[in-house]
Amino acid sequence: MSERIQKLLAQSGFGSRREIEGWIRAGRITVNGQLAKLGDVASEDDKLTLDGRVVHLKKREMVTTRVLAYHKPVGQVCTRSDPEGRPTVFNSLPRLSGERWIAVGRLDLNTSGLILMTNNGELANRLMHPSNGMDREYAVRILGEVDNDMLQRLRDGVMLEDGKGRFEDIVDSGGEGANHWYHVVLKEGRNREVRRLWESQGVRVSRLQRVRFGPIILPRKIRPAKFQELEESDLTVLMEGVGLKYRKPVITKKGSQRVTRAPKSRYSRKTKF
């Protein structure tokens, strides 16, 4: 069955739909010798090339979804390479054969915490799409005085330069003096939105960490620049939440799995407010 090129390549683990759409606009993809355009469709029987190299599409039933919970430290960037030579979140990840790790959303240089990494471009696209309303929860330390009126304005919404923004919820997490901790929840992931919302009220964010994405929280035992692979039960919950079905690893004739099973670690839960 024919699919749009970006969806077909995303399902085969080459990147996210948005990333592949950029490749199409840049003229990097051809289909049967013709330059691809946005909206073009193809099937697994067509000849696709990326930067002049033939793309070998994998059968969908052979692509096993993997997701890593990665603990990004402050100082890492979320691009695949950095012209300034700074470390990226991809440096510490295991290598994939014929696939790529895709970061589900980004965190800025000075923000730490949870980033989900997957080889499934369709899953990445759905997790990031605003229509699926995936919660992003952050622990944030505020420098400055915060009162109830300010918190209510942040819940109701304030106008930013790229449109209205608001926190779905705000929970006081304690602290002493001018430095106070809060847990806040967003339904979208605009650039530096948490920082900009607080700064609109005349206070400053002195520390910021993402602690949850959807049903997956950042396990305390994962140290910065380390990762934990999600087990089957967590993958099932995550994928079903965006309308996808998890396929179990394919077993070879020798009895070994094509992908490494995730370690036994139950940690998918939502913070209760």
Within 10 angstroms of residue 118's Cβ, the number of other Cβ atoms is 25
List 108, 156, 162, 172, catalytic entry = 108
CATH hierarchy code of domain 67-130+216-240: 3.30.2350.10
Q: Where in the chain is the domain with CATH 3.10.290.10?
A: 3-62
* pLDDT string in tens for the chain (273-residue length): 688 898 888 877 787 788 889 999 999 999 999 999 998 998 888 889 998 988 877 654 456 889 999 999 999 999 888 889 999 999 989 988 778 899 998 999 999 999 999 998 889 989 988 888 889 999 999 998 899 999 999 999 999 998 999 999 999 998 876 789 999 999 887 889 999 999 999 999 999 999 999 999 999 899 999 999 999 999 999 999 999 888 776 554 544 444 433 333 334 444 433
**DSSP string computed for the chain:** --EEHHHHHHHTTS--HHHHHHHHHTT-EEETTEE--TT-EE-TTS-EEETTEEE-PPPGGG----EEEEEEPTT-BSSS--TT---BTTTTSPP-SS---EEES---TT-EEEEEEES-HHHHHHHH-GGG---EEEEEEEES---HHHHHHHHH-EEETTEEE--SEEEEEEEETTEEEEEEEESS--TTHHHHHHHTTT-EEEEEEEEEETTEE--TT--TT-EEEPPHHHHHHHHHTTT--PPPPPBPTTS-BSSPPPPS---B-----
Q: Where in the chain is the domain with CATH 3.30.2350.10?
A: 67-130+216-240, 135-213
CATH hierarchy code of domain 135-213: 3.30.2350.10
* Cβ contact 57:48 at 8 Å: yes
Give pLDDT, residue 58: 62
Catalytic annotation present for 108: yes
Give pLDDT, residue 82: 87
Buried b (16+ CB within 10 A) or exposed e, 33-59: eeebeeebebebeeebebeeeebebee
Give pLDDT, residue 232: 92
Give pLDDT, residue 251: 54
Q: Which CATH superfamily is domain 3-62 in?
A: RNA-binding S4 domain (3.10.290.10)
* Cβ contact 128:162 at 8 Å: no
